[in-house]
Amino acid sequence: EPEVTQTPSHQVTQMGQEVILRCVPISNHLYFYWYRQILGQKVEFLVSFYNNEISEKSEIFDDQFSVERPDGSNFTLKIRSTKLEDSAMYFCASSGSSVRGTEAFFGQGTRLTVV
Amino acid sequence: AQRVTQPEKLLSVFKGAPVELKCNYSYSGSPELFWYVQYSRQRLQLLLRHISRESIKGFTADLNKGETSFHLKKPFAQEEDSAMYYCALDDNAGNMLTFGGGTRLMVKP
């Protein structure tokens, strides 16, 4: 069964450094998403991406964040100048449609720890 | 702005007992609601969505617009149902999910 794959599973970085979180969505999906979950808090939407453009973004997704689909398979989240409060589990998801009610398929997550 | 509330962080029941995981939402439009489940060391996966009106693994959920609720129910809990359950609402943009805080279900033998 096709799955969304995220690498690495755990990333430790020093405050102020840049990190890139990588995701390989399901191959025939066209809609991609990033969510994050700070420990003990809700899963929060960050951004959606379609046709090489951001479709929607939340207030969390400020200039510190960027997304890219550098090739036909990868979807990346870049966090510049990381802060302690960026420590969270980051989930990538993909779907085959943007129609409401469509299932989003999630990756297993990347745990980012900023020290 | 939309909001999803799961009032219970933890729900513990014995095997064979009925289960109800509560979910309330706040949304100005017509909601599309989901239940996602995360078993231990596994990824978030869709359990069911209200639009399908389906029963998955014995679970059902009915949308009650009057009470703005979408509670998840199962008549007889099994140990393998132990997991984290998240209620989520899909906004008008499609697949921008707003999640509740999650409820950890523990089914004891």
Residue B90, token pair as written in the block: 């899909």
Two structure tokens written together for A32:
């991609």
Under 8 Å CB-to-CB from B48, ≥6 apart: which residues?
A: B34, B35, B54, B55, B56, B59, B60, B61, B72
> Chain B residue closest to A55 (CA)?
B93
Tokens for B7?
Answer: 């009032």
The DSSP result for chain B, as a single string, is --EEE---SEEEEETTS-EEE--EEE-SS--EEEEEEE-TTS--EEEEEGGGT--BTTBEE--BTTTTB--EEESS--GGG-EEEEEEEE-TTSS-EEE---EEEEEE-
Choose the closest CB to A106 out of B44, B51, B96: B44
Other beta carbons within 10 angstroms of residue A24's beta carbon come to 16
Chain B residues with CB inside 8 Å of A104's CB? 46, 95, 97
User: Is the pLDDT score of A70 beyond 90?
Assistant: no
The reply to whether B17 touches chain A by the CB within 8 Å rule is: no
Residues in chain A whose Cβ is within 8 Å of chain B? 3-4, 31, 33, 35, 41-45, 48, 55-56, 58, 91, 95, 97-109
CA atoms within 13 A on the CB side of B2: 26
Contact yes or no for B99 and A42 at CB 8 A: yes
| pLDDT for position B29 | 82
> Quick check: helix, strand or coil at residue A10?
strand
A16 contacts A115 by C-beta, under 8 angstroms: no
Q: Does B90 touch chain A (CB under 8 A)?
A: yes
The per-residue pLDDT for B94 is 63
Interface contact flag, A98 B97, Cβ < 8 Å: no
Low-confidence residues in chain B, pLDDT < 70: 92-95
Instruction: Please report, rounded to a whole number, the percentage of residues in chain B having pLDDT higher than 90.
Output: 77
pLDDT the model gives residue A22: 97
A9-46 pLDDT tens trace:
999 999 999 999 999 999 999 999 999 999 999 999 99
The pLDDT tens digits for B8-27 are: 999 999 999 999 999 999 99
Tokens describing residue A16:
């102020």
